[in-house]
Amino acid sequence: MGAVSSFLPIRIGQHVVSPVFLAPMAGITDAPFRETVRDFGTIPAIAEMVASEACIRKNPKTLHMLNFYKGESPKIVQLVGCIPERMAEAAKISADRGADILNVNMGCPARKIVHKEAGAALMRDKRLAEKILRAVVRATSLPVTVKMRLGWDAQQKNASEIAYIAEQTGVALIMVHGRTRAQFYAGVADWNAVGEIKRSVCLPVLVNGDIKDTDTAIAALNASKADGLMIGRAALGAPWIPSQVACSLKTGMPSAPLPLIKRQHTAIRHLDRMLEFYGEEKVLFLSRKHMCWYSKGLKRAAAFRMQINTARSTKEIQEFIEKIYDEQEC
């Protein structure tokens, strides 16, 4: 294990938080998942992206996403949209529903989002990006953060410029996924390029992309000199990873792998929380991907996934989880 020169808590408005964050992931970082991540340590977690229009229209599914688990702190809501006034309106609704910190999405590469000039498309339109950030900052007294990529494509890597604009509008923190929109998730995240953005602003910057354990966290922090980092995909089926990385960075000691019995309990607790949050009908479908991720690296995982994908009740899913973990000892 290498070392990082400094690794301190980060201030966002009145909140002082761990420098290791859980990255927002649509369809994944709902309240049950965030609470399961929190079981292992106080990791700031960004909720699933909320579309400003759906939020204003009071779309029931969208409003359900604005539910937090009991004791969640800070509650971080990510907004996506392209009309400054509507983003401001959605910011107010989020504040009324208990958000502590707002995050503006300038990184989503999905076609259905960028076709509406939202998400990563905002990086191509500096003036609109500035208007949106100003509108969201002014809409409430909550601190506003922004998550972006390096730029639209290899020819338009303008994240430093957008970061500078964000700083001027009163944004409190910047998160950078070290890829362009054109890359989606291909190639490798460029942590050195995140360093250029860090050097262009006085704001705290989080480095994101391809951080999966303590070694990659150290490499990303050393390359970027960022103030903290965000972990996304490495936490799928392993919600203990962000806390393990935070702990290792703080103590300089490697983390021991989580014992199988604790992994089993984590999967079951996660399933229980999903059941409470969504109800039996929805949980059957929504829990499948999570439960399959929990089987990563286990013996007989392929057969387990088939069982999960055809399970007819949460009770059956729970039995399959108990069985596969118990079988590992044999």
Ligand X SMILES: Cc1cc2nc3c(=O)[nH]c(=O)nc-3n(C[C@H](O)[C@H](O)[C@H](O)COP(=O)(O)O)c2cc1C
Residues near ligand X (CB under 6 A):
23-26, 28, 48-49, 78, 105, 107-108, 147, 177, 208-211, 231-234
Closer CB to ligand X, residue 30 or residue 318?
30
Angle between helices 260-278 and 314-328 (to 10 degrees): 170
Nearest approach in angstroms of CB 184 to ligand X is 10
Closer CB to ligand X, residue 84 or residue 232?
232
Residue pair 200/160 in contact by the 8 Å Cβ criterion: yes
Tell me which residue of 137, 128, 151, 119 sits closest to 49, measured CA to CA.
Answer: 119
Nearest approach in angstroms of CB 31 to ligand X is 15
Q: Taking the mean position of all CA atoms in its chain, how far away is CA 49?
A: 9
Terminal C-alpha separation, the chain: 33
Q: Taking the mean position of all CA atoms in its chain, how far away is CA 56?
A: 23
Tokens at 321, concatenated: 């989880």
Nearest approach in angstroms of CB 226 to ligand X is 13
Distance CA 59, CA 186 (A): 33
The yes-or-no answer on residue 292 being catalytic is: no
What lies within 8 Å, CB to CB, of 171 at 6+ separation is 104, 133, 137, 144, 145, 146, 203
Nearest approach in angstroms of CB 133 to ligand X is 15
Distance CA 107, CA 92 (A): 22
Q: Dihedral, CA atoms, 61, 27, 67, 273, nearest 10 degrees? A: 110
Tell me which residue of 116, 94, 112 sits closest to 47, measured CA to CA.
Answer: 94
Three-class HEC string of 182-210: CCCCCCCCCHHHHHHHHHHCCCCEEEECC
Closer CB to ligand X, residue 9 or residue 185?
185
Closer CB to ligand X, residue 74 or residue 232?
232
Closer CB to ligand X, residue 37 or residue 324?
37
Closer CB to ligand X, residue 78 or residue 307?
78
Tell me which residue of 168, 163, 133, 136 sits closest to 150, measured CA to CA.
Answer: 163
Nearest approach in angstroms of CB 210 to ligand X is 5
Nearest approach in angstroms of CB 315 to ligand X is 28
Closer CB to ligand X, residue 105 or residue 160?
105
Closest residue to ligand X in the complex (CB):
232
3-state SS, residue 50: strand
Set 55, 108, 247, 292: catalytic member: 108
Nearest approach in angstroms of CB 234 to ligand X is 6
User: Hey, which residues are catalytic here?
Assistant: 108
